[in-house]
Structure formats: structure tokens, C-alpha cells
């Protein structure tokens, strides 16, 4: 059985910075409220008419990851693309990325696991490498949230949290001891409607929606039962990290860097306390980007590496929780 490891990382965020004070211009909210509840100070939102689609941002992050890995785009033999905000209802963004990278007709798979999407995608790619089927897999997480958010006071419980961006990694067959040690995936569909975007969907016939033309229909906007999500997130995050540690017979103090999905700084801090981790064992950048869903972990990983916070031989844990509910972790020896 082969092993896989991340050999290249990249990220991209749109230039347009939106601060909490900018939001307070048109939403009844404040910098104090947002900072206290979420830790977020600013996020990146594309400007209207911007060419940064989900796949376009994924392309930019991918090019950086390919360069960082020191491979050619033609070495890529599979693409896994995680997002909840695809360019089109169908086809998914994986094929758009294959086209826009200008590479041969490799397989492209789309992963729909929201905030856990990137860790699910890594797990899928890891299995393909373990079996020997592929050697160089491009794994991407990208999200374009801003055009789909309710940016009025009605939507303030959700819209203040989410940001746009993309991250990508090259997962390669490993020829040494470094690489992915294990991945752990979970779901609990019982809570699907606690964090969701209902329409448009195949159970909502488009002609009926058009006919109703109902301005109070908010099913096109993401819905989140914030308190409920928060409580489940802190429990599941901790559980899935412990699961990874136990499987590999290591302890919390052995973790050199935990890269949690950047859901909410308060969630990260809660997990940090619960696991007894120090500040330099946990990486957070939600303050600058908000919650970028499937993109948050690869963006954070890319920045942590740029800042020299992860070294060869480090034990790195990625963990996520989100809509589904789904949650997941991956433990790696860097
Ligand atoms: N600005 C100001 N007030 C706001 C607000 C905003 N942006 N959003 C909501 N409020 C108000 C509410 O209307 C409510 O007012 P009321 O008491 O008069 O009814 C009050 O603040 C409290 O709302 P509540 O939703 O209970 O706040 P909260 O403490 O749960 O914080 C979240 C809201 C969203 C920040 C928090 O629940 C959270 O972070 N949840 C998890 C989110 C998450 O991680 N999602 C992604 C999962 S991967």
C-alpha cells in the first residue's frame, strides 16, 4: 500500500476587503458584535462584475500549488474539487478547472460536503493514491459566497460570517515516512436543515417558483441555526480530533499544528481549551477572511506554511465540521 503526502500548497483570495464597519453601513450590526461572537474583523467579497468565479479562484490557487510542488500541470492525473458554491448547478467546477488548466482528459470529481469538503476531498484523494491508481492529485477547496448572501439586516446572522476564497494542494505518492496517517469522516443527516440552502432544488419545481414570484421566499439564501450549529460543532470537532489521535497512538501535546476549519474563532478557541492546546499549536486566520467553507483549511495551511509555522516532521491535524452535519479530520506527518 502506498502513502500520500501534500507536496505543494496554494491559495487565492479576492482583493476586495470588506470590514465589519463596511457591513454596518447597510446592516444593523456592529464591529463589536461581530468581533465578540465570531472573531472576524474583515472578509474578502468579490465586487459585482468581478471575473472571480469559484472555479477561477480555484484555478489561481491551483497554479500556486502546482508551482509550489515543483511539478508540471501535465503531471496531474486526477482532480478533486470541494465546494458548496459551484459556478453552475451542473456540471461541477472540477471539469471547469480541468479545462481552464489546459490539461489532458484526467478525471475530475466534485465533493459536496460544505465546511468539511476539503478534508473529505483529501481523504478521497488519499485512497486513490494508497491503491496506486494515481500519483499526483490536485485537491481544491473554493467558495464564492458573497453573491448569494442576504446582505440585509434579515440575513445578518449568516452573511457576516462568510467570505470568498480558494485553496489548493498537490497530494502525491510519498516515498518516505511523511504523509497522511489517517482520515476520519462522519455525517449526521438528521440535522441537514439546521444549516442549509434549500432552493433551487429538484423538490422545488422551477416553474412553480417563477409563478409564485414571492419576495418573502428566502429559501435561496443560506439558513443557519447558529446556536445549534455552535453546540454541535464544538463537540464533533473535539471528537474527530481525538479519534485521529487515538488511531495513531499520539496525544494532544504531540500535535505541532492544528488547522481547524475556520468556522468561528470562538469555536476554535473552545476546542483549543478543551484539548489543552497552546496558542502556537493552533492556526487561525478567520479574523481576515471570515468563514470560507471548503476553502478555509487549504488557505490556512498555505498561510501557516508561508509564515514558517509548519516544519518537516511536524504532526499536523486538519479538522472540520459543517452543514450536513458532516465532520472530518486528517492527521499528517509533514
Ligand atoms: N449583528 C448584530 N446582532 C445580530 C447579528 C449581527 N450580525 N446577528 C444576529 N444578531 C442578533 C439576533 O437577532 C439576536 O437578537 P435578539 O436577541 O434580539 O433576538 C441576538 O443577536 C443573538 O442572536 P443569536 O443568533 O442567538 O447569536 P449567537 O450568540 O448564537 O451568535 C453566531 C450567532 C452565528 C455568531 C453563532 O451562533 C455562531 O457562530 N454559530 C456557529 C456558526 C458557524 O460556525 N457556522 C459555520 C459552521 S461550519
CA-nearest of 15, 10, 11, 19 to 43 is 19
Ligand 1 center to 24 CA (angstroms): 15
Q: In angstroms, rounded to a whole number, what is the distance separating the alpha carbons of residues 201 and 220?
A: 10
Strands (E), the chain: 3-12, 17-19, 42-44, 78-82, 107-111, 136-143, 165-174, 179-187, 195-196, 223-224, 257-260, 315-322, 326-333
| Mean per-residue pLDDT, 288-302 | 98
Is the domain covering 180-333 a CATH 3.40.1000.10 domain?
no
**At 210, which helix (H) or strand (E)?**
helix 206-212
For 193-212, what is the mean pLDDT?
86
pLDDT at 300: 98
Examine domains 3-176 and 180-333 and report if their fold is the same. Answer: yes
Overall average pLDDT of the 227-238 stretch: 97
- pLDDT (average), residues 122-137: 98
Distance 181 CA to ligand 1 centre (A): 37
Let me know: does 236 contact 184? Beta carbons within 8 Å: no
Residues with CB under 6 A from ligand 1: 29, 33-34, 37-38, 115, 156-157, 160, 224, 226-227, 229-230, 233, 263-264, 267, 291, 321-322
Whether 115 sits among the annotated catalytic residues: the reply is yes
Q: Which atom of ligand 1 is nearest to the CA of 156?
A: 7
Q: Which three cell numbers stand for residue 242?
A: 481525538
Percent of the chain with pLDDT over 90: 91
Beta-bridge partner residues of 332 = 180, 316
Give the residue extent of every domain in the chain: 3-176, 180-333
Q: Is 16 a catalytic residue?
A: no
Q: Which fold, 3-176? A: Peroxisomal Thiolase; Chain A, domain 1 (3.40.47)
Helix/strand/coil for 311: coil
**What does the pLDDT read at residue 207?**
82
Q: Could you tell me the pTM of the whole model?
A: 0.96
Q: What tens digit of pLDDT does each residue of 11-47 get?
A: 999 999 999 999 999 999 999 999 999 999 999 999 9
How close is the Cα of 209 to the center of ligand 1, in Å? 29
Question: Atom 26, ligand 1: which residue's CA is nearest?
Answer: 227
Ligand 1 nearest-atom number relative to CA 115: 48
Q: Which residue is closest in CA terms to ligand 1's atom 12?
A: 157
200 pLDDT exceeds 80? no
With a cut of 90, say whether residue 66 has pLDDT above it.
yes
User: For all residues of the chain together, what is the average pLDDT?
Assistant: 96
Amino acid at each position: 500500500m502506498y502513502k500520500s503526502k501534500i507536496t505543494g500548497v496554494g491559495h487565492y483570495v479576492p482583493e476586495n476587503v470588506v470590514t465589519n464597519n463596511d457591513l454596518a453601513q447597510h446592516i444593523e450590526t456592529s464591529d463589536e458584535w461581530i468581533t465578540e461572537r465570531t472573531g472576524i474583523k474583515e472578509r474578502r467579497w468579490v465586487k459585482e462584475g468581478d471575473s472571480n468565479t469559484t472555479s477561477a479562484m480555484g484555478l489561481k490557487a491551483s497554479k500556486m500549488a502546482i508551482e509550489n510542488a515543483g511539478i508540471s500541470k501535465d503531471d496531474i492525473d486526477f482532480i478533486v474539487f470541494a465546494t458548496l458554491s459551484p459556478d453552475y448547478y451542473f456540471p461541477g467546477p472540477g471539469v471547469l478547472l480541468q479545462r481552464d488548466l489546459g490539461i489532458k482528459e484526467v478525471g475530475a470529481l466534485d465533493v459536496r460536503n460544505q465546511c468539511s469538503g476539503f478534508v473529505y476531498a483529501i481523504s478521497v484523494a488519499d485512497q486513490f493514491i494508497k491503491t496506486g491508481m494515481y500519483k499526483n492529485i490536485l485537491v481544491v477547496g473554493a467558495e464564492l459566497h458573497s453573491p448569494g448572501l442576504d446582505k440585509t439586516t434579515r440575513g445578518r446572522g449568516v452573511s457576516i460570517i462568510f467570505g470568498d476564497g480558494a485553496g489548493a494542494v498537490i497530494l502525491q505518492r510519498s516515498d518516505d515516512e511523511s504523509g497522511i496517517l489517517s482520515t476520519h469522516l462522519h455525517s449526521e443527516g438528521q440535522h441537514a436543515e439546521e444549516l442549509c440552502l434549500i432552493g433551487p432544488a429538484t423538490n422545488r419545481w422551477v416553474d412553480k417558483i417563477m409563478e409564485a414570484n414571492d419576495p418573502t421566499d428566502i429559501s435561496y439564501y443560506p439558513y443557519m441555526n447558529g446556536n445549534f450549529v455552535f453546540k454541535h460543532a464544538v463537540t464533533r470537532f473535539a471528537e474527530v480530533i481525538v479519534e485521529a489521535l487515538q488511531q495513531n497512538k499520539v496525544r494532544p501535546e504531540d500535535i505541532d499544528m492544528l488547522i481547524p476549519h475556520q468556522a468561528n474563532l470562538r469555536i476554535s478557541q473552545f476546542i483549543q481549551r478543551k484539548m489543552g492546546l497552546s496558542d502556537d499549536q493552533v492556526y487561525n486566520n478567520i479574523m481576515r477572511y471570515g468563514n470560507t467553507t471548503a476553502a478555509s483549511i487549504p488557505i490556512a495551511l498555505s498561510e501557516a506554511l508561508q509564515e514558517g509555522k509548519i516544519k518537516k516532521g511536524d504532526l499536523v491535524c486538519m479538522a472540520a465540521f459543517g452543514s450536513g452535519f458532516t465532520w472530518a479530520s486528517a492527521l499528517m506527518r509533514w
